[in-house]
Amino acid sequence: MTDFPLQRPRRLRRTPSLRRQVTETRLHPSMFVLPVFVVPGTGVRNEIPSMPGTYQLSVDELIPLAQEAESVGVGGMIFFGIPETKDEQGTSAWDPQGPVPRAVTAVKEHAPGLVAWADVCLCEYTSHGHCGVLKGDVVDNDATLPLLARAALAYASAGADVIAPSDMMDGRVAVIRGTLDDAGFGDIAICSYSVKYSSAFYGPFRDAANSAPAFGDRRTHQMDPPNVREARREVELDVREGADMVMVKPAGPYLDVIREVRNIVDLPVAAYQVSGEFSMVKAAAERGWIDGDRVMMESLTGIARAGADIILTYFAIDAARALRASQ
Ligand code: PBG
């Protein structure tokens, strides 16, 4: 078969307007969710050294950021709390005056156009940095479930729109759903971090959230990076337990997993471009080794092309601005 010269794919790449018209993947600011690290106090603004341009913020400092995000069309914000005190059980996780409930309430008031997501995990709140309570030196799955549900309830009571459990305990979606329903929060959504790998790409986050485990690692609850059939199983279980959306995390190194999940569910699929993915782009761009803005957009486009409807990314505001500028 002699396709050429009849077939010339270059014809549709000839001008920017042609390319724009035939594009198969369109990013939109409303897809983006900006992760934020919330600390106690007022006037606190600590830049995270390994994540340039990203800060630990007190609630008062977070309000202008939320308003900026809203004004450029970013879809939402997800909050991670760094509490005043930590203990074995992570009790600060469900303190109604804790950083996440206060952030949620403030953002609902000052930037109501944003979807307010609350991450649910105990690792930022436990003295040992593990995602649940310990029995000996292992995380006790079943004893952790009611504690996660208490945290979820505190965040829903503060006004969170989406509860996002990232702990990777088995059965937590069902327990959180039941607790929310019993308390009259039947209309509050759950986005489960269904497919969360035990990843070295979380390194900078653990500095930002002071949540590195004091000993051991998270390999007995987070997924093993080589596995994808297991990802299907996690998603199927969470859907049966009542998840409204499912997440894959990290994003860039797991594009095949995002596609696999997209193919098996009709629910919205979220993907989390995690701290290490962000920091690598920033570091290489600082050295002048890559064009940081273009790599930012290309990495986000790849995640959307793989099948993500929602992208959690530290680039949310910059990417939303770039999209507006290119319109
Ligand atoms: C757990 C949690 C983590 C991240 C999001 N939620 C860290 C972990 O599992 O150790 C990582 C996000 C990132 O790296 O940007 N609360």
Judge if the beta carbon of residue 275 lies within 6 A of ligand 1.
Answer: yes
Residue 168 covered by a domain: yes
Residue 206 Cα to ligand 1 middle (Å): 7
Residue 81 covered by a domain: yes
* CA 80 to ligand 1: nearest atom: 16
Residue 140 covered by a domain: yes
Q: Tell whether the model's pLDDT for residue 2 goes beyond 70.
A: yes
pLDDT-based confidence at residue 1 (cuts at 50, 70, 90): low
Residue 14 Cα to ligand 1 middle (Å): 43
Residue 4 Cα to ligand 1 middle (Å): 50
Residue 6 covered by a domain: no
Mean pLDDT of 75-98: 97
Q: Tell me the angle at which helices 99-110 and 141-158 cross, rounded to the nearest 10 degrees.
A: 30
Nearest CA to ligand 1 atom 2: 166
DSSP state at residue 252: G
Residue 83 covered by a domain: yes
Dihedrals phi, psi of 153, to nearest 5 degrees: -65, -40
**Gap between the Cα atoms of 291 and 301, Å rounded:** 15
Give the CA-trace dihedral at 276, 132, 160, 86, to 10 degrees.
Answer: -90
pLDDT-based confidence at residue 207 (cuts at 50, 70, 90): confident
Nearest CA to ligand 1 atom 12: 274
Mean pLDDT of 204-208: 90
* CA 276 to ligand 1: nearest atom: 14
Q: Could you read off the pLDDT of 231-281 as tens digits, one per residue?
A: 999 999 999 999 999 999 999 999 999 999 999 999 999 999 999 999 999
pLDDT averaged over the chain?
A: 97
Judge if the beta carbon of residue 119 lies within 6 A of ligand 1.
Answer: yes
Residue 211 Cα to ligand 1 middle (Å): 8
Note the Cα 84 to chain centre separation in Å.
23
Nearest CA to ligand 1 atom 8: 202
* Segments forming the whole domain that contains residue 106: 26-326
Residue 272 covered by a domain: yes
Nearest CA to ligand 1 atom 11: 202
Judge if the beta carbon of residue 202 lies within 6 A of ligand 1.
Answer: yes
Tell me if the bond preceding 250 is cis, omega within 30° of 0: yes
The yes-or-no answer on residue 196 being catalytic is yes
Q: What is the pLDDT of residue 327?
A: 75
The yes-or-no answer on residue 249 being catalytic is yes
CATH number at residue 31: 3.20.20.70
Residue 112 Cα to ligand 1 middle (Å): 26
Residue 20 covered by a domain: no
> 192: which strand partners?
246
Number of domains in the chain: 1
User: CA 292, 293, 298, 304 torsion: positive or negative?
Assistant: positive
Phi/psi region, residue 53 (left: phi>0; alpha: psi -120 to 50; beta: rest), is: left
pLDDT-based confidence at residue 209 (cuts at 50, 70, 90): confident
Q: Could you read off the pLDDT of 141-153 as tens digits, one per residue?
A: 999 999 999 999 9
Kindly state the percentage of the chain with pLDDT values over 70: 100
Residue 197 covered by a domain: yes
* CA 205 to ligand 1: nearest atom: 14
Q: Could you read off the pLDDT of 119-176 as tens digits, one per residue?
A: 999 999 999 999 999 999 999 999 999 999 999 999 999 999 999 999 999 999 999 9
**Gap between the Cα atoms of 134 and 127, Å rounded:** 11
Position 264: which residue type? I
Residue 20 Cα to ligand 1 middle (Å): 35
Judge if the beta carbon of residue 206 lies within 6 A of ligand 1.
Answer: yes
Please identify which of the residues 86, 108, 135, 249 carries the catalytic annotation.
249
